[in-house]
Structure 1
């Protein structure tokens, strides 16, 4: 076996000649190299060592067959063990990195070896002259090699890379490498790692980088940010004023890059009732901001958001200014959701109405826009403002009832449901709004529905419009958790009945009640609550509502008319009082309540509606009343 010359100059010449021949022997001669390199380092001859390692790195880069030779001869192991830039000159470390990077390229065996030494690679990232080469090595190591990606995640290399990006210490030509590495590593984070302080720091650094407007990698950074934001626990950790403000700035920055057509595409994609068969029609640009808006909205729904973000904070002022802007965009959806999530206490909601006048802005938006996603978010915010009783009269006076009339005819079922839920709140325990609904005419910009077989009043009231909107066909809701217009309209009528049924009311309620019962089909939405079986609580409320109606002659006649139209209604009433129950059905408490409400209804019909019944119905009501009176619960 031939040996390399002992002199540095001759060694370099013979090594270059040997490598130029390619890996043709058994690799015995190359085994001498690690010892020679170690000797040069021990003698302080870093120059010869650097030149020799450079030859090795170039050779294995050109000829992949050297990879196995270098591994078997100990060259690769020597390189990773002597990489430390604090012990060797930067030039030597850089050449060692080249050897490592070229040895692991598309070679899983060598990758597995180097992965065990990953801790020796990471310090090189923060040495300015080594950053580019180190990133290239890490890219070769992690590309399509999951064990290295997992180990990099374990050692939180993503944190180091994000910090370097944020401080602009990564050369422009290496940003591509950093982007790929961040994507791979982030996807390999465990739930615990994802929720750690390291992740929050990496997120903040990347958020800062995203706002520096690197066009080539802008979407890459946002994709990683969205990945973090999908974790509910992580959402709690980033619900801090400074992070929320930067996130909102990012949404504003992103949408400013979109064309008007793309903006409309985002609105369509954000629609909660979007047709699934039309999914994935938008481009990646649209899809990414949809994910960003939805993730950001989820952050604002966290408990930490309400705790950390004050109503008078700078970030809320910025969000309010967007809501007040005449230009609507995806960030307007964010503003509505975020402010709506802040309106979780009566005092905050009152301040938003009395001090800030946000309800006026929302009414203008709800009246002028037609995008379902925007209307749904704005109506959800408005519904929160209607929770405090003290707000309801001001909201009614500002025109919200008329606005809800317009929203009820929107084709989107989620928007209709929100509008009906707002109306229910507005008339709950508020005589002023009840009078408005019962007496006032439908707004001029709303066309009342024509119900088959029913003559439309000459001057249809808001109540007539509300009633008929419960009876018109509607598209299905995408989620059972959303407000159902039919159910919420039934509840609206019941809320009116509750108030008008009070014996100690200060107002003159009888004329209002009589006028209410003149409304065609006014009992039908309530009866339909009783007949439907999907919403158990609403079904019980419907029974209560019919009982309240039956306490006056005019109301009882309305109920009798519904029984004539639907003979099965009495059978449905009887079902409420059946003591036997299966798992998942009513509790005994609700059964007892329903039993009492059924008796109240039947007593009211027998007392106040007897003259409106035919003989068969009288017998049926009397028999059912007698049967129920025998039951004990």
Structure 2
């Protein structure tokens, strides 16, 4: 059968696969004879079949007739005839295009390792790459098989070979992405793969004459897939300049619409997904302890990230910078350096600022990332006042996040940050108690604290209610830890000579009286910590703060007013002291009725407070949440301090039922540990 006859045969399209298979079996017999005879005409025959194999309807018959297996067998051995092998590869590639049946024949033939090995063959690799792609695309069994045949190593060796730099193609990059997704790849572990792929991605994108979006996406996808595995993350970070390469590739994907001139909606969607994957990968990498050691705060990588943080035109870069730098701020020392040496809080606070126009809306992911970063920075005590003085608690900053009713996660982040800023920080406590807008009308003095308590009132989510209540508890703790009580509300003196002690005490008392007059809803917010049942440690936080308040006459009077406002807290307090429900109560959160006859004590029956063993030595103690075993003991002691101080300082101001219950607690000493 001559080449001309074969070409005529292929032009006669079969009516069905069976007829086509019978026709091609004639050619198979001829091919076998030529091979056995070692005839050079086999190459001519192969050329004719390669042309005919481009016709879709011949592809399945080529497989069933045995011709596909015949040409796969030609790949065996080391001494390949380049020309004949090239025709064989064309036949294999065409026959497998979109035909899973033929792809499976290739797998079953056991010739995939030889096909992968052709990537090391300088003459045949240009054929081998598209053939491997045709076999693997949309067919996972083939992808698994080439993964086992070490295709990744072959691709990486290809990309680092300087002689082959100009011979890579988009098909090779797509193959890398297909193989990277296989479950076996982390175990095969080609450690240099992510670094080589990302380096190649940046190189492809930086060439203005040949920028190709598909190539960049394929390489990036493969690299990021590997970096989703812990073992690849470790080896990647240990590779010199790895973070620099990653950040460069990340910046390219953010600027991709300009670099690659993308206008297609599908391409934009693809890039958006890739951006999200880059962001997640950066979060993972920067969370690795190695990342911290590779990014000194005075080094070029941190400078790079700081530029991203201030890049207001690219919110994705700002978000990524928040994640990475936030992970660097996991120690007090680094947080202090970032704030007090690098002033990193300034671009973060700018992110919290309201948009320039009413039509602009903040990017929620960026806002969340910035708030999370600021929470890290607000933990060291010396940073709190610095952040507060920068205006973060002002009307246009955190209170704006508390008002975002449709974004509870942002509200929670904003309240949580405020709570951290208020911990043992008198200047910040004063800031949240100052009017948002200066006015002489006491009734109109809306403070940031008002906004916090209003959020507590209307919030549906328990975590938000919890954080607002804890923030108020921090405020009360600072007010009653300062000496004299309430002095934290006074403005800092501009003179070197402090005011006389008596004058300071008088001003402090006046300031704290005004504070409660302006914030009448404070009890509802604060006592929520005691009325909730999910977190015992937060109840303990309340008993500590109330006991601290009750150590002063003015504070005790305030607590007494709280008990009138929320009388149900009385039973909860008694239970904390006794370690069990008070006799006769149905539920710890039930409303206690005043003036119940059976609870009244006889006149003059108030116990001698000093007679209770050890009471004189008790002081309010803050609970260590890590020491759960001691929580009940500390609760009892703080409860005893609170009850004793209230009965000593303001018995006439307490609700009648509270007096009776408190006297009974101290008189009878319910609970052996009291």
User: Normalised by the size of structure 2, how large is the TM-score?
Assistant: 0.73
The answer on whether the counterparts of 2:106 and 2:112 sit within 8 Å (CA) in structure 1 is yes
Q: Which residue of 1 aligns with 2:646?
A: 605
Structure 1 position 364 matched with structure 2 position 350? yes
The 5 Å alignment of 1:27-106 reads: 27=25, 30-31=28-29, 33-34=31-32, 36-37=34-35, 39-40=37-38, 48-62=41-55, 63-64=58-59, 66-68=61-63, 70-71=65-66, 75-83=67-75, 87-105=79-97
Question: Is the contact made by 2:118 and 2:125 (CA closer than 8 Å) also made in structure 1?
Answer: yes
Instruction: Verify the 8 A CA contact 2:198 2:223 in the aligned structure 1.
Output: no
1:377 to 366, 369, 378: 369
- CA–CA distance in structure 1, aligned partners of residues 580 and 188 of structure 2: 50
Where do 1:223-242 residues align within 5 Å? 223-231=221-229, 234-239=232-237, 242=241
Do structure 1's residue 515 and structure 2's residue 507 form an aligned pair?
Answer: no
Indicate how the Cα distance of structure 1 residues 414 and 331 shifts in structure 2: closer, same or farther if over 3 A, else same: same
Distance 1:208 1:366 in 2: 33
CA separation of 1:95 and 1:283: change in aligned 2, threshold 3 A: closer
Secondary structure (helix, strand or coil) at the match of 2:22 reads: coil
Partner Cα distance (2:672, 2:559) in 1: 24
Task: Describe how 1:179-194 pairs up with structure 2 within 5 A.
Answer: 180-190=174-184, 192-193=186-187
Residue by residue over 1:395-445, the C-alpha shift from the partner in whole angstroms, topping out at 9 and shown as x without a partner, is 23322332434443344333333333333333333334344444x33256x
Q: Which runs of 5+ in 1 are unaligned?
A: 5-10, 260-281, 448-454, 478-483
- How many Å separate the matches in 2 of 1:18 and 1:256? 53
Structure 1 residues 207 and 336 mapped into 2: Cα distance closer, same or farther (>3 Å)? same
Change (3 A) 1:316 1:38: farther
Q: Distance in 2 between matches of 1:461 and 1:18?
A: 90
| From 442, 451, 456, the counterpart of 1:471 | 456
Q: Would the alpha carbon gap of residues 102 and 290 (structure 1) be closer, same or farther in structure 2, given more than 3 Å must change?
A: closer
2: distance between equivalents of 1:568 and 1:195? 63
Which residue among 133, 139, 143 is the counterpart of 2:133?
139
**In structure 2, C-alpha distance between the alignment counterparts of 1:203 and 1:512, rounded to whole Å:** 65
Q: Which residue of 1 aligns with 2:565?
A: 565
Contact 1:442–1:465 (CA<8 Å) still a contact in 2?
A: no
1:407 and 1:419 in contact (8 A); partners too: yes
Deviation at 1:297, TM superposition (A): 2.5
Distance 1:361 1:139 in 2: 47
Two-structure CA RMSD over aligned residues (Å): 4.0
Indicate the residue corresponding to 2:664 in structure 1.
623
After superposition, give the CA deviation of every residue in 1:172-221 in whole Å (9 maximum; x if it has no partner).
8x62x445533432222336348651543454355436634413454454
- SS of 1:622's partner is helix
Judged with a 3 Å threshold, the aligned counterparts in structure 2 of structure 1 residues 197 and 505 are, in CA distance, closer, same or farther, namely farther
Q: What secondary structure is seen at the aligned counterpart in 2 of 1:87?
A: coil
Structure 1 residue 500 displacement after superposition: 4.7
C-alpha deviation, 1:528, in angstroms: 0.7
Taking a change above 3 Å as real, the CA distance of residues 363 and 101 of structure 1, as seen in their structure-2 partners, is closer
> Is 1:527 matched up with 2:527?
yes
In structure 2, the CA distance between the partners of 1:474 and 1:496, relative to structure 1 (3 Å rule), is: closer
| 1:113 to partner: Cα distance | 4.2
The structure-2 alpha-carbon separation of the partners of 1:561 and 1:111, relative to structure 1 and needing over 3 Å to count, comes to same
CA offsets, 1:452-473, max 9 Å, x none?
xxx964544444444x245332
The more displaced of 12-21 and 364-373 is 12-21
2-side partners of 1:626 and 1:235: how far apart? 65
Task: Decide whether aligned partners of structure 1 residues 536 and 287 sit closer, same or farther in structure 2, where only a CA change above 3 A counts.
Answer: farther
Paired residues in the alignment total: 573
CA contact (8 A) 2:311 2:317 kept: no
Worse-matched range after superposition: 20-29 or 204-213: 20-29
Deviations 1:241-273 (A, max 9, x none): 7333333333433333569xxxxxxxxxxxxxx
Q: Give the conservation status (yes or no) of the 8 Å contact 2:485–2:508.
A: no
SS in 1 for 2:297: coil
Aligned to 1:595: 636
Following superposition, the deviation at residue 100 of structure 1 comes to 2.5
1:401 aligned counterpart, secondary structure? coil
For the 8 Å contact 2:322–2:373, the answer to whether it is kept is: yes
Per-residue deviation at 1:87?
1.5
Aligned position for 2:205: 211
**Counterpart in the other structure of 2:602:** none
**Conserved? CA contact 2:577–2:640, under 8 Å:** no
The residue number in structure 2 matching 1:409 is 403
Alpha carbons 2:53, 2:94 under 8 Å: kept = yes
Deviations 1:132-152 (A, max 9, x none): 432332233224433221111
Q: What is aligned with 2:595?
A: none
Question: Superposition pairs for residues 136-535 of structure 1, below 5 Å?
Answer: 136-161=130-155, 175=170, 177-178=171-172, 180-190=174-184, 192-193=186-187, 196-197=190-191, 199-201=193-195, 203-205=197-199, 207-208=201-202, 211-212=205-206, 213-231=211-229, 234-239=232-237, 242-257=241-256, 283-327=269-313, 329-369=315-355, 370-402=362-394, 403-411=397-405, 412-438=407-433, 440-443=434-437, 457-466=443-452, 468-474=453-459, 476=461, 484-502=463-481, 512=508, 515-516=511-512, 518-519=515-516, 520=519, 521-535=521-535
- In structure 1, C-alpha distance between the alignment counterparts of 2:652 and 2:485, rounded to whole Å: 31
How far residue 331 of structure 1 moved from its aligned partner, in angstroms, is 0.8
Distance 1:600 1:39 in 2: 107
TM-fit CA distance, 1:527: 0.7
C-alpha displacement of 1:310:
1.9
Q: Is the Cα–Cα contact under 8 Å of residues 429 and 495 in structure 1 kept in the other structure? A: yes
Whole-angstrom distance in 1 between the partners of 2:277 and 2:24? 56
CA distance in 2, matches of 1:164, 1:128: 10
- Provide, for residues 354-382 of structure 1, a one-character-per-residue CA deviation record: whole Å limited to 9, x for no partner: 22122223223322454332222222222
Query: CA, structure 1 residues 558+325, in 2 after alignment: closer, same or farther (shift >3 Å)?
Result: same
**Aligned 8 A contact 1:333 1:374 in 2:** yes
Distance 1:204 1:148 in 2: 25
- Once residues 419 and 187 of structure 1 are traced to their aligned partners in structure 2, the CA distance between those partners, rounded to angstroms, is 38
* Partner secondary structure for residue 630 of structure 1: coil
1:8-27 to structure 2, matched below 5 A, reads 23-24=21-22, 27=25
* TM superposition score normalised by structure 1: 0.77
Q: 1:181 to 1:606 in 2, by over 3 A?
A: same
Greater shift after overlay, 503-512 or 208-217?
A: 503-512
